[in-house]
Structure formats: C-alpha cells, structure tokens
Amino acid sequence: MSVILIIEQVLNGLQFGVMLFLMAAGLTLIFGVMGLINLAHGSLYMVGAFAAAWVAGLTGSFVLALGAALAAAAAAGALIEMLVIRRLYKAAHLDQVLATFALILIFSEGTRWVFGSFPLFLDVPAYLSGPITLPGGIQYPFYRLVLIGIGVAVALALWWLTARTRLGIQIRAGENDREMIAALGVDISRLYTLVFALGAALAGLAGALVGAIQSVQVGMGEPVLILAFVVIVIGGIGSIRGAFIGALLVGLTDTLGGIFLPELFKLFMGTGAATQTGSALASMAVYILMSIVLIWRPAGLFGGQS
C-alpha cells in the first residue's frame, strides 16, 4: 500500500464527491426553498447526459455538448416544474415521492423510446484527456482533475449566488418565510421555477461531465440520485454547505472504503474471506455512515429543523 495509491484514491474520492455535490446542491436547494422531495432529479441528470452525447455526436464539440446539457436539463426542469411539480408544493411528502417517482418512469421509458436501450458514448476531448504528472511524480488523469476544479468552482459560485446576490437573498428569504417575501412583492412562482431550473441545470451538468467517463444510458441517474439523497440527509436538508461537506464525505467513504476495507480485514482474516467481507461492508459503507449520522444528529450535520 503505497502513498501514491492513497493519494490517487483520495483524488478519486474527491472527484466523485464534487460530482455528487452538483446533484445534491440542486436537491437541497429545491427542498430548502420549496419543501419538495424530488426523486426525478436523477432523470434530469440523465437528460443532461443524453443531450450532451447527442450534441457531441452531431458537432464533435465538448463545450457545445456541455452547453446543451445545461440548456436541456434546465428546460426539462422548468417544464416539469410548471406542469407537475408546482401542484405538489403543498402536498404531503408521500404524494411528492409518488408523483416524482412517476416522473422517473416517464423520463426513463421516454428516453428509452427515443434513444433505444443501447448506451451512448461521450468521449473526453483530446485536450482534456491523458494523464498529467502531479508534484511527487503521481500520474493522474487530467480530466478527473478538471472535474474536481469544475465542482469546486460551482460550489464557490453557488456560495456567491446565495450569499451575495439579490436572487440569493430571495432564495434565503423563501426558505424562511415564503408568505412574507410574496407579500413584499417577489414573484414567488417565478422564483420557484428559476430555483428548480437552476437545480436541474446543475444535475444536467453533472450528468454530462460524468457521462464522459461512464456510459450514457437509461437508468444512470437513479444510483446517483440515491447517493445524492444520502449526501443531503447527512449534510442536513436545505444546507448547501452541508451538501458540500456531505458530498465529500460520501465520495471519500465510498471510494476509500472499496480499496481499504478489504485490506483492513486481511490483517486478521484469510484473504478470501477478507475480500468478501471487506467488499460487502464497503458497498454498504455510505449507508452505514448515513444511519450513524442520523442516529447521532436526527436532522443531519448542518440541518436546523426536519
């Protein structure tokens, strides 16, 4: 077990974590401002990935593909917000879970209808591919470093948006008291559509970025969606800072657990049994982490009320 391997795995964990953050940020914003559980967030991730793969296939440009992902996901988000989601803000959580579950079915099968069951491929562009050498002589894929950079940049931009802009003030006010800001003359339904589209665009961006290192296929959004929920529950629902810390925790736990838990068990078990126990435990690690956090702090790390 060398230092280089550990650093590589930590970077992998960070990369996974910041991509989860892109998903989780939208989810937590939507829950914080509108009080809505949106299971269809994973579908918006998928929409982004498919839009990117389609545009990249037509034009060959990765930048255009990312633009298409942002636009398509934001448009799909705004559309479902106006058609369906808007009617759910006052509904019980159970109804929200069901209606957005229904949206997943519609999105997934609809995409299968249009694009077929075979995965699409989105290639990392030449100027971003290949390894680069980090200080200390570590070879690491450049694209993954770029992903970490984009994730951190988006986190900073979101912080700036919520803390320093007029829209951010409205969003934070909406979290605290929606009747009051409506009374102060803010068009609340426009604000809601905007926040929903913003969250959707972030999910679409994540889908496109991750789509370039995995395959783009129907059902790709749901595993990420579940992990993003784990992230926002750990961080405390509604808190962007919580989502960022939760995302890094989950990303690192998942990545490092898969590598180090089997090694850990080898210290006091046979190799075969250790690999099996270790990998079984590693695949459960993030959920164990989440239940421990919830048992310790029932409203998450940075959550106020539940």
Partner 1 sequence: MIPERILNLVVILGFIAVPIWAVFADEIFTLTLVTKAMILGLAAVGLNIALGIGGMVSFGHAVFFGIGGYAMGILAHHAQTFTPLSVGPITMAGTKSMPVIWITAMLVSAAVAWVIARLSLRTTGVYFIMITLAFGQMFYYFTISWGTYGGEDGLPIYVRNSFPGLNTLVPLQYLMLCGAALGLALLLQWRLRASPFGLALNAARQSPARAETVGLDPMRIKLWAFVISGTITGLAGALFADLNRFVSPTMFSWQLSGELIILIIIGGVGRLFGPVIGAAVFVTLEHWLGGLTDFWHVWLGVILLFIVLFGRGGIIGFLTGKEGPHV
Where does this chain touch partner 1 (CB under 8 A) — which range of 93-101, 126-134, 183-191, 241-249? 93-101
Where does this chain touch partner 1 (CB under 8 A) — which range of 81-89, 167-175, 176-184, 201-209? 81-89
User: Is 283 a residue that touches partner 1 (CB under 8 A)?
Assistant: yes
Residue 37 CB, shortest distance to partner 1, in Å, is: 6
Ranges within 193-252 binding partner 1 (CB under 8 A): 226, 229-230, 233, 237
Sorted by sequence, the CB contacts under 8 Å of residue 139 that are 6+ apart come out as 131, 132, 133
Helical residues (DSSP H) of the chain, grouped into ranges: 3-34, 41-59, 62-83, 93-115, 142-164, 166-176, 178-183, 188-211, 221-235, 240-266, 271-296
Closest to partner 1 by CB, 170 vs 193, is 193
Q: Is residue 140 within a helix (H) or strand (E), and if so which, with residue range?
A: strand 138-141
Residue 176 CB, shortest distance to partner 1, in Å, is: 18
Residue pair 37/98 in contact (Cβ under 8 Å)? The answer is no
Residues in the chain: 306
Q: Binding residue for partner 1 (CB under 8 A) from 5, 63, 106, 183?
A: 106
Ranges within 129-168 binding partner 1 (CB under 8 A): none
Q: Binding residue for partner 1 (CB under 8 A) from 14, 18, 22, 37?
A: 37
Ranges within 4-33 binding partner 1 (CB under 8 A): 31
Burial letters for 101-114: b for 16+ Cβ neighbours within 10 Å, e otherwise? eebbeebbeebeee
Closest to partner 1 by CB, 137 vs 298, is 298
Q: Provide the token pair at 137.
A: 């002589």
The residue among 48, 43, 41, 39 whose CA lies nearest residue 26 is 41
Residue 276 CB, shortest distance to partner 1, in Å, is: 6
Where does this chain touch partner 1 (CB under 8 A) — which range of 67-75, 155-163, 203-211, 281-289? 281-289
| Pairwise CA distance, residues 235 & 102, whole Å | 27
Residue 270 CB, shortest distance to partner 1, in Å, is: 14
Q: Binding residue for partner 1 (CB under 8 A) from 57, 58, 60, 93?
A: 93
